[in-house]
Chain A
Amino acid sequence: MLKGEIIGNIEKILGKEAVITSKTELSVYESDGISIFKGLPSAVLLPKNSEEVSKVIKLCNDNDIKFIPRGAGTGLSGAATPEGREMLISLNRMNKILEIDLKNKIGVVEAGAINLQLSLAIANTGYYYAPDPSSQQACTIGGNIAHNSGGAHCLKYGVTGNHVLGLEVVLPNGEVIELGGKVLDQPGYDITGLFVGSEGTLGIVTKAIVKFTKKAEATKTLLATFNTIEDAANAVSDVIAEGIIPGAMEFMDKLAIEAVERSVHRAGFPRDVEALVLIDIDGLRDGVEVLSNKVIEIFKKNKAKEIKLPKDENERKRWWNGRKQAFGAMGTLSPNYLVEDGVITRSKLAKVLKKIDEIAKRYNLRVANVFHAGDGNLHPLIPFDMREEGILKRVIEAGEEILKVCVDEGGSITGEHGVGIIKRNLMSYCFKEEELEFMEKIRCVFNPKSLCNPNKKIPSRGCAMPLQTTTRTIVRGW
């Protein structure tokens, strides 16, 4: 527990209303999007600017208090969930869009700004902010940066890291520094690149400089249905093998379709099929036609049952909304679900999906598959009812076994959700001991006392000795 004295000091910095300590209010923050892991924070702080963040962190650093940065809490790995009564530093009040530089197609935002708000702010300019995780209506840019979030369109347009030019961060010792910047290739190591995806274990992002992307001139959406999972998976592999990079290519199996169609996000997907592939082919007008025809040929060759074009923009939006809300729709199947996030190369899709099915059967569980097929990023969803005794253990084990299959096939345990708590055990399955040690050395440079999001992402082995990283020791090195 935190001492009253420290809370008092924090209240002096932030104001009383920006410090939450009552148990009922704290319980709102006990988990992120993965509610099977829960932990109460000792307090939740709501700073208004980087300076406040810095002051609070200095105080934490001086008093060896552990803390965790938190955005909207939509994360799916438990990266923002307390495990040992850490303090949460919520960036929600730091949600301003600070600058829109249309001439250079660059935006500057505070970390708590909502992803979708940024695209809306430049809605009529022909440009947008490309990374679009399914939670984009709620999730924050800072959270996206922490997880290097992807989304449906990242095969073609890249993940968050490809769109972040610079950051303002507060280091775990409280110092505020700038990384990167509007101008590309600032001399030195690409610390911005290293920071993206570090899940708050290197420091807290307070501002970000991001770039905007030109909207595609034309987009054609196709919905193809298949009688077998294998046909759908092969269709996906063949599109990529043909060298076609669609704007997005999504896969849903029967159970995932069922969940969406039972939910309020009903999209009108055909229910009598084993799988569907939803694809956006975008680019220049004429090229889109050429490529769409090729895609249709590929789908036909792989025995597509039906290939549909949306009747109108409304239907198109409904299909995409159905896909984006698929995780939430799992609630129609069961009270709880676990979502995994493995990645494989696309040619292995059919093989791995078959293995997932075998694993599910062996554990006597169901698995719904809904995922970004274009980039081989699987999201097996395991619906279950927590009230059933012993089920959670079974679900987690099945999930881990699925991810091990992904690693065995040359892929990864996480494509966009992060390691957080949930995949920490698997890190030693996909990395050698010396690789984990190497990463720990990096963490120790930034976070030597391991106060900032302790033990997340990489199983902590402790730092040999704290390294000096204060900016006051700048040495003119030439």
Chain B
Amino acid sequence: MVSQYSIEGLEPKEIFKPESLEEVSLILKDANEKNKALAPICYGTKLNLGNPLKRLDYLLILSELKNLVEYAPSDLYVTVQCGMKLKDLQEILKRKNQHIPLDPPYYDKASIGGIISTNSFGPKRLRYGSLRDMLLGLKIVTAEGKIIRAGGKVVKNVAGYDLVKLYIGSLGTLGVIAEATFRVYPLPEKLVTLIVKLKDYREAMSLKERVQDSYLLPCALDMINPSLASSLNLDGSYYLLVRFDGLEVDVNREVRDALDLFKKGGFYDVKVIEKDEDLWDKLINYPQRIKEKESFVSLKVGILSTDLPLLMRLMEEYNLKPLINYHLGLGLGRMFLIDAEDYNVLGKVIDALREELYSKKGYLVIEHSPKELKKYTNVWGKLREDFPLMKGLKEALDPKGILNPGRFVGGI
């Protein structure tokens, strides 16, 4: 029997659900003393990300640490405990006409701590940046159970090393993120999305350049391929989704001028969507919405938009037919494979794709997949030349290797 608490089939021996920072600290102290492997989780939306754990003793469920610690709307910052859902935080901020401009997958379920640990993001990163740009401070419980602060609540701070950056995306391997302080932003008055129908992906590249060279400031600029378009109830073509947000006067003008710009380029089939939340929600959460957990493969691809043709050519060459969502301005994309069956073959294809992507300084990471696939290829890809530093950091900050052992890059 696999319990609801198993992580890729591995059962924890003890489960903890602390209600305070002090409890978290005691549990970590205990784990460290007894050399018990510990996995911190909240709502388990991304448990599948990473290598299979090498061992698991304690499961630390942080969902009870969900309080608002401090909210200073007029100073534009908010501090919350890591178990709060992003969605719940946004509700609190909304009452003061503010928000955090972050639109990651699993929006309605994911916790703040999980989002930070996985450096989760969405299309709005184009305009607002990632967690690196909006996270001011963290409170961390170290592998030895010490409570330390990183950063603070002011927007500029260079006292000490920038530990906030180190912890973003560190997948719970360097400590437990207990509290986070974010910069908050005024809610946009208006959001509008233009859906531009394209003949092929190359048109997306040329439109991106036109937008880049104009005054327009979209918050998202995403290309979707025909199979993903179909699943969003658009016909089977390539599309460019251009989203504008901000003050109403600005958005109105941007929409008007963008329509003009597209027309001049010969793009006449453009839909203007005023209530666009649903569309983006569906796009960002596409596979996890329609499929049961574990059964789909989600790949994160990093490749500059000028090298997009390489990625598309590789898809044809290897006869891979993923649903593709590529964030043009960011050089990052997600590819979903819904019905992969032969994981042995897929593993080899992924390895081959990676070699090509590395030649352009790109990469491919398996964000979600059945455990089976991980037998045939590795999740993170090739080790870079800074890996020894990463290993050194892990050994220095978690000397017994109790935190999420094996899950991250190179088995750290």
Are A and B a genuine interacting pair, yes or no? yes
By a beta-carbon cutoff of 8 Å, the part of chain A in contact with chain B is 103-105, 126, 147-148, 150, 154-155, 158-159, 161-162, 171, 177-179, 181-194, 196-198, 214, 217, 237, 240-241, 243-245, 283-287, 290-291, 343-347, 372, 375-377, 410-419, 423, 427, 430-432, 434-436, 438-439, 441-446, 457-458, 467-471, 473-478
Given A162-B133, A283-B246: 6 more A-B contacts, CB < 8 Å: A103-B305, A186-B302, A189-B166, A243-B186, A377-B154, A458-B160
Name the A residues within 8 Å of B168 (CB-CB): 190, 193
Give complex CA distance A469, B162 in Å: 20
Q: Are B306 and A284 in contact (CB under 8 A)?
A: no
A187 to chain B: closest residue by CB: B380
Contact with A along B145-156 (1 / 0, CB 8 A): 010110011111
Give complex CA distance A476, B160 in Å: 32
Name the A residues within 8 Å of B383 (CB-CB): 474, 476-477
Name the B residues within 8 Å of A477 (CB-CB): 383, 387, 409-412
Q: Are A413 and B159 in contact (CB under 8 A)?
A: yes
Q: Are A478 and B411 in contact (CB under 8 A)?
A: yes
Give complex CA distance A445, B396 in Å: 7
Give complex CA distance A476, B411 in Å: 9
28 A–B contacts from the bound complex (CB under 8 Å): A103-B305, A159-B156, A162-B129, A162-B133, A182-B361, A183-B361, A183-B363, A184-B302, A185-B332, A187-B381, A188-B387, A189-B174, A190-B166, A192-B165, A243-B186, A245-B186, A284-B253, A290-B247, A375-B156, A412-B158, A427-B159, A435-B160, A439-B163, A445-B396, A467-B396, A468-B392, A473-B388, A478-B378
Name the B residues within 8 Å of A413 (CB-CB): 159
Say if the beta carbon of B389 comes within 8 Å of chain A: yes
Q: Are A186 and B75 in contact (CB under 8 A)?
A: no
Q: Are B247 and A286 in contact (CB under 8 A)?
A: yes
Name the A residues within 8 Å of B370 (CB-CB): none
Q: Which of B215, B304, B379 contacts A182 (CB 8 A)?
A: B304
Give complex CA distance A285, B257 in Å: 13
Name the B residues within 8 Å of A343 (CB-CB): 154-157
Q: Are B330 and A194 in contact (CB under 8 A)?
A: no
B222 to chain A, nearest CB (A): 15
A277 to chain B, nearest CB (A): 17
Give complex CA distance A347, B153 in Å: 12
By a beta-carbon cutoff of 8 Å, the part of chain B in contact with chain A is 51, 72-77, 97-98, 119, 129-130, 132-133, 142, 146, 148-149, 152-166, 168-170, 174, 185-186, 209, 212-213, 215, 217, 246-247, 249-250, 253-254, 300, 302-306, 330-332, 360-363, 365, 378-381, 383-393, 395-397, 408-412
Name the A residues within 8 Å of B391 (CB-CB): 475
Name the A residues within 8 Å of B330 (CB-CB): 184
B356 to chain A, nearest CB (A): 14
Q: Are B305 and A442 in contact (CB under 8 A)?
A: no
A147 to chain B: closest residue by CB: B158
Q: Are B152 and A412 in contact (CB under 8 A)?
A: yes
A216 to chain B, nearest CB (A): 9
B253 to chain A, nearest CB (A): 6
B197 to chain A, nearest CB (A): 24
**Which 9 pairs across A and B sit closest by C-beta, in order of nearness?**
A193-B165, A477-B410, A477-B411, A241-B74, A243-B186, A415-B156, A478-B378, A286-B249, A445-B392
Q: Which of B76, B157, B388 contacts A414 (CB 8 A)?
A: B157
Q: Are A161 and B165 in contact (CB under 8 A)?
A: yes
Name the A residues within 8 Å of B213 (CB-CB): 126
B52 to chain A, nearest CB (A): 10
Name the A residues within 8 Å of B155 (CB-CB): 154-155, 343, 375-376
Q: Which of A161, A287, A432 contacts B247 (CB 8 A)?
A: A287
Q: Are A471 and B159 in contact (CB under 8 A)?
A: no
Q: Are A287 and B246 in contact (CB under 8 A)?
A: yes
A351 to chain B, nearest CB (A): 13
B249 to chain A: closest residue by CB: A286
Give complex CA distance A196, B132 in Å: 12
A438 to chain B: closest residue by CB: B148
Q: Are A468 and B304 in contact (CB under 8 A)?
A: no
Q: Are B159 and A419 in contact (CB under 8 A)?
A: yes
Give complex CA distance A185, B381 in Å: 13
Give complex CA distance A217, B247 in Å: 15
Name the B residues within 8 Å of A418 (CB-CB): 158
A464 to chain B: closest residue by CB: B396
B73 to chain A, nearest CB (A): 7
B51 to chain A: closest residue by CB: A478
Q: Are A194 and B304 in contact (CB under 8 A)?
A: no
From A171, A243, A414, residue with most partner B Cβ within 10 Å? A243
Give complex CA distance A468, B130 in Å: 32
Q: Are A442 and B396 in contact (CB under 8 A)?
A: yes
Q: Are B250 and A411 in contact (CB under 8 A)?
A: no
Name the A residues within 8 Å of B75 (CB-CB): 240-241, 345-347
Name the B residues within 8 Å of A105 (CB-CB): 212
Give complex CA distance A478, B377 in Å: 9
Q: Are B157 and A415 in contact (CB under 8 A)?
A: yes
Q: Are A284 and B332 in contact (CB under 8 A)?
A: no
